[in-house]
Amino acid sequence: MRKITKKPEVLAPAGTLEKLKMAIHYGADAVYIGGNAYGLRSRAGNFSFDEMREGVAFAKKHNAKVYVASNMVTHEEDAEGAGDFFRTLRDIGINAVIVSDPALIEICATEAPGLPIHLSTQASATNYETLNFWHQEGLERVVLAREVGMDEIKEIRQKTDVEIEAFIHGAMCISYSGRCVLSNHMSARDANRGGCSQSCRWKYDLFEMPESGEHESLLEGDPVEAFSMSAVDMSMIHHIPDLVENGVDSLKIEGRMKSIHYVSTVSNVYRQAVDAYCNDPDHYEFKQEWEDELWKVAQRELSTGFYYGIPSEDQQLFGKRRKIPAYVFIGQVLAYDEETKMATIQQRNHFGVGDEVEFYGPGFTHLRQTIDSLWDENDAPIDRAAHAMMIVKTKVNAPVKPFDMMRKKK
C-alpha cells in the first residue's frame, strides 16, 4: 500500500494580476510573480506594489500563496534599493522571494528579516550538499536546476530536509540553468538581468562566406528551421507518481509570459492529476484526457527533459513540427442567467454564429456546443463578436460560471 507523506503544491506562473486570479481559480496552490525590479522577465506584466497587495489579499482569501521572483544576476549598480524592495514585499505579505544571486540573498536576509527565501533554479543546485549549504544559510526551499534527474532527486530527498521545488511543465532553456550570453552578444540584451531576446529560438541557416560577393546558403531547397538551438517544452503529466514519491514539495509550471488560456488550462490539468494520485495512490490511473487538454495550449512538442536521461536530438526543435496546437482562446464567461440560460461573455478573439466552441472551467468541467445566436451588450442580435474585449451574450446548453473560459479549434 502506497503512503503519501506530503501532497505537493501546484505552483503556477502569474505574469499579471488577472493571471494570478485565474491560476488560483483553476487550482494552483501558489503562484509566482515578478516585481518591477530584480526579476528575469522584464517584458512580462510585472506587478506594482499595489497590485501585489491585491494579489496577496486574493490569494489569502483562497488559501493560496504568492512568491516573487527576484532572480536576476546583479552587477554593481543593480543592488541599489534592494533592501527597501524586500522590506516592502515582506510588509505586503509575500510568502517568499525566489533569488539566485548571493548578494541579493544576503541583502534580503539582513535587511528584510522574516521574509522567506527560496533559491532560484538559476543558481544551478544539482546535489544534496548544495541544498544543505543553502539550508544552513537560512533558505527554506531550493528550486532544482532543470538538469537534475529523477534518481538524483531521490538521493537529494534522502539526504536533506530542505523543501524541493522542481519544474514540471513549460519551456526549457537550452543553456545550463538558463545562464546564457547569446542574447547579450546578438541583441545587446542581458538574459541574466531580465532582457533575454531568446536567440536560441531564432531560425538559423548555413552560409558560404566569400571574401566578396553575396552570402549564399549551402542548403538546397527551402529548409524549415534546419539549424536550431531550441529545446522542446517539458511535460511531466505522465509522471506525477514519481515526483510525489521522490519527495518533490512543489511542482512548478513555467510561463509568466503565457496567456490566461495557458495558465488556466495547465493549472487545471495538474490539479486534477495531483489530487487523483494523492487521494488514492493505490488505484491511480493516468487519464489521457489530461494530456489531450495540455495539447490545446502547447506551443511546442513535449518531452520529460532531463528527468529520465540526457535529451536526444528528438527533444530539439528542427524541421516541421510533429504536433501543432489546435485551439484558440476566444472568451471568458462573466455571468450566467439560469432563467434564460444566457451566458455573458467577454470576447478575447473572433468568433460568431455557426462556430463550434468549448467551454471549460475549474474542476475540469467541459461543455461543447455550436453558437446558434449572439447578442451584443444592448441585446441587439449580431453575427460575429469581432471587436476586442466586446461584451456579448449567447445561449448555452448547460450552466456555466464566471471565470469559465471559451475556446474553439483553429
3-state SS, residue 267: helix
Q: What is the pLDDT of residue 322?
A: 61
Q: What is the pLDDT, as a whole number, of residue 210?
A: 75
- Grid coordinates given for 346: 467577454
Q: What is the pLDDT of residues 162-191, one digit of tens each?
A: 999 999 999 888 877 777 777 788 888 766
Q: Is the pLDDT of residue 311 over 80?
A: yes
Would you state the pLDDT for residue 172? Answer: 85
Q: What is the mean pLDDT of residues 2-17?
A: 90
**Cell representation of residue 119:** 533559491
Residue 365 forms beta bridges with which residues?
Answer: 361
**In the predicted model, what is the mean pLDDT of residues 139-159?**
97
What is the CATH code for 9-176+231-315? 3.20.20.70
Per-residue pLDDT at 73 exceeds 60: yes
Kindly report, residue by residue over 119-129, the tens digit of the pLDDT. 999 999 999 99
Averaged pLDDT for residues 222-242: 83
CA geometry: angle at 230 spanning 232 and 206, to 5°?
140
For range 77-93, the mean pLDDT: 93
Distances (CA, A) of 65 to 61, 84, 192, 309: 10, 22, 26, 33
pLDDT at 48 over 90: yes
| Nearest one of 166, 284, 292, 329 to 234, comparing CA atoms | 166
Whether pLDDT at 325 is above 90: no
Model's pTM, two decimal places?
Answer: 0.91
Higher pLDDT, 246 or 5: 246
pLDDT at 203: 77
Fold of 327-409: Elongation Factor Tu (Ef-tu); domain 3 (2.40.30)
pLDDT band (50, 70, 90) for residue 198: confident
Q: Residue 217: its pLDDT value, please?
A: 74
> How much is the pLDDT for 93?
98
Q: What is the mean pLDDT of the chain?
A: 90
- Greater confidence (130 vs 36) lies with 130
Is the pLDDT confidence value at 108 over 80?
Answer: yes
Residue limits of CATH 2.40.30.10 in the chain: 327-409
Q: Specify the domain boundaries for CATH 3.20.20.70 within the chain.
A: 9-176+231-315
Per-residue pLDDT band for 79 (boundaries 50, 70, 90) equals confident
Q: What is the pLDDT of residues 350-377, one digit of tens each?
A: 999 999 999 999 999 999 999 999 999 9
DSSP E strands, 35-95: 65-69
Q: What is the pLDDT of residue 192?
A: 64
Distance CA 325, CA 332 (A): 20
Question: Higher-confidence residue: 87 or 217?
Answer: 87
Residue 223 has pLDDT above 70, yes or no: no
**Percent of the chain whose pLDDT exceeds 70:** 92
